[in-house]
Structure 1
Amino acid sequence: MLRQMCKGKLHRVRVTQADLNYVGSITLDPVLMRAANIRPYEMVQITNVENGVLWSTYAIPGVEGSGVVCLNGPPARHFQPGDRVIVLSLAWVDDGEWETFTVSVVLVDDDNRITSILTAKPADDWHSDLGA
């Protein structure tokens, strides 16, 4: 069985730009992408904390170390500079991968600089919740 899981999360990053006249996607600082295990052109889910809008698009790398979080194309109508967003990277995980699967949650400051990275093995949480 395959289960869709969160494999990486950028938690409450701040939108730095919104470019309506770009082809599409979300531009992210490669530092943030690597920390959340997001690869170039990977599909991601973005939730705007300010207005509840949920959007799916692909991620492209911006300038290294810039802190850039730019919504391109149509989502620029729903995500504005200063908005806090959550970016989720998802994966399909089979039962064989479950025991070794890890998740990274990236926490940032107001300039989208990483303050900490939390990692978890969902299987460990699952086993401890069951008393195993």
Structure 2
Amino acid sequence: MHRTFLFSKIHHCTLTETNLEYVGSISIDQTLLDAAGIVPYEQVQVVNMNNGERLVTYAIPAPADSGAVELNGAAARLGTRGDRVIIMTYAQLTSEEIEGFEPRVVLVDQENRVIEDAPVVNASTPELCLT
């Protein structure tokens, strides 16, 4: 049996742009994709902290170190520049894979740069909550 778990999360990104006329997806700075272990065209869930919208789309790379996080196509209607979002991926794990598994959590600053010395937030540190 497989169960679905959070695999990775980029926490508190800031939307830098929306582009209604683009074919679709979310563009994410390649540095953030690498840090979270997200590969191009992988399915992602995006949660908008400003308006509560949730959507499922796929990730495409934006230039590394650009700080870009851009909603494209119809998804552009679900956020505005400056909104804070959480980007998540999930994985199907077997019972054997579950033991010891911890999702990869990437914390970013207001310019979508990885916070290198951020505390690791996982099941063993639930008291850590960033605002």
For 1:98 and 1:42, the matched residues in 2 are separated by 21
For 2:97 and 2:83, the matched residues in 1 are separated by 35
Preserved contact between residue 37 and residue 89 of structure 1 (Cα < 8 Å): no
For 2:5 and 2:53, the matched residues in 1 are separated by 20
Measure how far apart 1:99 and its partner are: 2.0
User: Which whole-Å deviations, capped at 9, do the CAs of 1:43-84 have from their partners, x for residues lacking one?
Assistant: 000000000000000001010110100000001011111000
For normalisation by structure 1, the TM-score amounts to 0.87
Q: Matched residue of 1:70: which SS?
A: strand
Counterpart position of 2:4: 4
Give aligned pairs, total: 122
Q: Percentage identity across aligned positions?
A: 43
For 2:91 and 2:25, the matched residues in 1 are separated by 19
RMSD: 1.4
Which residues in structure 2 correspond to 1:10-25 (within 5 Å)? Answer: 10-25=10-25
Which residues in structure 2 correspond to 1:1-132 (within 5 Å)? Answer: 1-115=1-115, 116=118, 118=120, 120=122, 125=124
Q: Which amino acid in structure 2 is aligned with residue 44 of structure 1?
A: V
Counterpart position of 2:128: none
Based on CA coordinates, which of the two structures has the bigger radius of gyration? 1
Gaps of 5+ in 2: 125-131
Gaps of 5+ in 1: 126-132
Tell me which protein shows more strand as a share of its residues: 1
Measure how far apart 1:119 and its partner are: 6.1
